[in-house]
C-alpha cells in the first residue's frame, strides 16, 4: 500500500526512558544462580536423565547474538530475585493513572513540547503497543482524558510494527478529516512478558515509551518537522514469534499456573527462522518502496530501523546501501534499550534527527511479529 502524503507531517517526538537499568552482567548473574539452584534441587532426576540440566547464560553470547548490552525497566524489584524472576508490580486502584498511561503521557509531553502543541489541540490519540495493559477501557482514552485532549482515542496493536502502523492510521485520519492533530503513543512495557527463567529469551526486551505528533504541514510550527513522502505496510502470517497468552487460557481444561508459565509463556520465538524469513521481506519491501517513490538510496540520509537485533539491522542496511552502514546512517539504540518492540525505530528517530537539514530524507522502518513491516520515507521540511 502506498500513496502520496506530502501534506502530513511528524512535527514532534518524545521518548520516556524508565528509571532502572539492568546490565547483561546482572541479568546473567541472576539467571545462572537460578540455574545452579535448579540443577542442585533436581540433581537426582538430572543424573537419571529424567530432567535436563539448565545451561548457563553468558554475556558474550547475548552481546554477540543480539548487540544488547543493557535494558531499561519500569520496575526492577523482583526480576533479579532467583526465587521470583519477574517484576513485582503493585496493582493500582481503578482511580489511579495506569502504569502504561503514565509512561505514554511522559513521552507525549515531550512530543507536544517539541511540536509546540497544547494537549487541547490534539483531537486523536492512538495508543499503539505490542501488548496492552487491559482490553478496555482503552488506555488511549485514559491518556486523552488525563492530558485534556479532545476528539477520540483508541488502542491498536500490530506487534513489533505497531508504531509505524499507528503513524499510518493517524495519517489516514488526518487526510480523511476525522482528526486535525494526532498524538501516537507507544508505551512498550515489555518486561512483565519476559520469562526471565528462559535462557534463550531472558535478555531480549526492555521497557520504553515513545510518542509522535502528526498534523498537516500548514499547521506545523515545530523546529524539526518531517513530511511523510511515502508509506508501505505489509503483513505475512507466521507463528515464529507468537504468544498463546489469552483470556481463553484460563478456561482450558488442564490449566495450571506452572503450565501457563512454562509452556504458554507470553513470548515464544524461533529466532533463526525469523532472520531467514523476515529479512528478505524487509529488503524487498524497502527496495520496492524506494523504486515506487523514485528515490535513490543515495538520497537517503539516514535509516531509523527497527531495533530488535543488531545483526538484522546490519544486514538490512548493507543490502540497501550495497556496503556497511556508518552509525550515522543507521543508528543503533538497542545496545542501551534492548528490543523495545514497536518503539525501537521511533527511539532511533527521536534521538537522531535534529542534525538533519531541510530536504534530507530518511526511512523509519519497523519489522517483527505477524510478520509485519511498516516503512515510512520522510523528508525534513
Ligand atoms: C534471539 C536471537 C538473539 C538468538 O541468536 P541466535 O544467533 O539465533 O542464537 P541461537 O538461538 O541459534 O542459539 C545459538 C546457540 O547459543 C545458545 N544460547 C541461547 N541463548 C543463550 C544464552 N543466553 N547464553 C549462552 N548461550 C545461549 C543456544 O542454546 C545455541 O546453542 P547450540 O548451538 O549449542 O544449540 C536471534 O535469533 C534474534 O534476535 N532473532 C531475531 C529476533 C527478532 O527480530 N525478533 C523480532 C521481535 S521484535
Domain CATH code at residue 337? 3.40.47.10
Q: Is 102 helix (H, G, I), strand (E, B) or coil?
A: helix
Which atom of ligand 1 lies nearest, measured to the CA of 311?
39
Please report whether residue 158 resides in a domain. no
pLDDT band for position 248 (cuts 50, 70, 90)? confident
Domain assignment present for residue 14? The answer is no
pLDDT at 247: 80
Report the mean per-residue pLDDT for the chain.
Answer: 95
Distant-in-sequence, close-in-space partners of 51: CB < 8 Å, separation ≥ 6: 42, 45
| pLDDT band at residue 246 using 50, 70 and 90 as cut-offs | confident
Please identify, by atom number, the ligand 1 atom nearest to the C-alpha of residue 200: 20
CA of 2 to the centre of ligand 1 (A): 35
Q: Is 261's pLDDT higher than 80?
A: no
In this structure, what DSSP letter does residue 285 have? Answer: H
**Residue 315, in any domain of the structure:** yes
* DSSP run (H or E) holding 112: helix 99-115
> What pLDDT shows up at residue 51?
96
Please state, in angstroms and rounded to a whole number, the distance separating the CA atoms of residues 381 and 283.
27
Number of Cβ within a 10 Å radius of residue 263: 10
What is the mean predicted confidence (pLDDT) over 115-131? Answer: 97
**Per the domain annotation, does 212 fall within a domain?**
no
Q: State how far the Cα of 182 lies from the Cα of 50, in Å rounded to an integer.
A: 57
310 Cα–ligand 1 center, Å: 13
Task: For residue 19, tell me if it sits in a domain.
Answer: no
| 292 found inside a domain | yes
Report d(CA 263, CA 196) in Å as an integer: 14
How far, in Å, from the CA of 44 to the mean position of ligand 1?
A: 29
Cβ atoms < 10 Å from Cβ of 118: 12
Strands (E), the chain: 8-16, 20-23, 70-73, 124-128, 152-156, 181-188, 208-216, 226-235, 241-242, 268-269, 300-305, 361-368, 372-380
Domain that residue 290 falls in: 227-380
Q: Which three cell numbers stand for residue 338?
A: 534492548
Please give the DSSP secondary-structure letter assigned to residue 205: B
Residue with cell 500500500: 1
CA–CA gap between residue 357 and residue 78 (Å, rounded) = 45
Rounded to the nearest angstrom, the distance between the alpha carbon of 173 and the centre of ligand 1 is 40
Q: 38 is written with which cell numbers? A: 535448579
Residue 66 placed within a domain: no
- Please report whether residue 271 resides in a domain: yes
pLDDT of residue 4: 46
Using CB distances shorter than 6 Å, the residues near ligand 1 are 57-58, 61-62, 65-66, 160, 199-200, 203, 241, 271-272, 274-275, 308-309, 312, 339, 341, 368-369
> Which own/partner contact pairs does 285-288 have at CB distance under 8 Å and 24+ positions apart?
285/232, 285/234, 285/373, 285/375, 286/316, 286/320, 286/363, 286/365, 286/375, 287/320, 288/232
Using the predicted structure, report yes or no on whether residue 2 has a pLDDT greater than 80.
Answer: no
Q: Any idea which residues carry the catalytic annotation?
A: 160
Looking at the 3D structure of the chain, how many domains does it have?
1
Q: What is the pLDDT of residue 254?
A: 78
Ligand 1 atom closest to 201 (CA): 1
Q: Measured between alpha carbons, how far is residue 277 from residues 219, 272, 368, 370 in Å?
A: 41, 9, 11, 12
Res. 121: pLDDT tops 50: yes
pLDDT of residue 262: 62
Q: Whose CA is nearest to atom 5 of ligand 1?
A: 65
Amino acid at each position: 500500500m502506498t500513496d502520496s502524503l506530502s501534506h502530513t507531517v511528524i512535527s514532534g517526538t518524545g521518548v520516556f526512558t524508565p528509571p532502572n537499568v539492568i546490565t547483561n552482567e546482572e541479568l546473567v548473574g541472576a539467571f545462572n544462580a537460578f540455574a545452579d539452584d535448579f540443577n542442585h534441587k533436581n540433581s537426582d532426576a538430572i543424573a537419571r536423565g529424567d530432567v535436563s540440566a539448565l545451561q548457563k547464560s553468558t554475556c558474550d553470547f547475548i552481546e554477540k547474538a543480539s548487540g544488547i548490552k543493557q535494558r531499561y525497566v519500569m520496575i526492577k524489584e523482583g526480576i533479579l530475585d532467583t526465587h521470583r524472576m519477574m517484576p513485582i508490580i503493585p496493582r493500582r486502584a481503578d482511580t489511579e493513572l495506569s502504569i502504561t498511561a503514565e509512561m505514554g503521557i511522559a513521552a507525549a509531553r515531550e512530543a507536544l513540547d517539541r511540536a509546540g502543541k497544547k494537549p487541547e489541540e490534539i483531537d486523536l490519540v492512538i495508543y499503539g503497543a505490542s501488548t496492552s495493559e487491559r482490553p478496555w477501557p482503552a488506555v488511549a482514552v485514559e491518556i486523552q482524558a488525563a492530558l485534556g485532549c479532545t476528539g477520540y482515542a483508541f488502542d491498536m496493536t500490530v506487534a513489533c510494527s505497531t508504531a509505524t502502523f499507528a503513524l499510518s492510521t493517524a495519517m489516514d485520519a488526518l487526510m480523511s478529516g476525522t482528526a486535525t492533530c494526532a498524538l501516537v503513543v507507544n508505551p512498550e512495557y515489555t518486561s512483565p512478558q519476559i520469562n526471565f527463567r528462559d535462557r534463550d529469551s531472558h535478555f531480549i526486551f526492555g521497557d520504553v515509551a515513545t510518542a509522535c505528533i502528526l498534523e498537516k504541514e500548514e499547521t506545523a510550527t515545530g523546529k524539526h518537522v518531517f513530511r511523510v513522502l511515502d508509506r508501505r505496510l505489509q503483513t505475512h502470517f507466521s507463528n515464529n514469534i507468537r504468544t498463546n497468552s489469552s483470556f481463553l487460557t484460563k478456561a482450558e481444561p488442564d490449566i495450571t499456573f506452572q503450565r501457563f508459565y512454562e509452556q504458554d509463556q507470553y513470548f515464544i520465538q524461533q529466532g533463526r527462522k525469523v532472520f531467514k524469513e523476515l529479512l528478505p521481506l524487509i529488503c524487498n519491501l524497502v527496495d520496492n518502496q524506494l523504486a515506487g517513490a523514485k528515490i535513490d538510496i543515495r538520497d537517503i540520509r539516514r535509516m531509523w530501523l527497527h531495533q530488535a537485533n543488531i545483526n538484522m539491522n546490519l544486514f538490512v542496511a548493507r543490502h540497501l546501501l550495497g556496503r556497511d552502514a556508518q552509525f550515522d546512517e543507521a543508528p543503533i539504540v538497542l545496545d542501551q534499550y534492548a528490543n523495545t518492540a514497536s518503539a525501537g525505530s521511533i527511539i532511533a528517530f527521536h534521538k537522531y534527527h535534529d542534525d538533519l537539514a531541510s530536504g534530507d530524507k530518511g526511512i523509519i522502518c519497523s519489522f517483527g511479529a505477524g510478520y509485519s513491516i511498516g516503512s515510512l520515507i520522510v523528508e525534513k521540511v
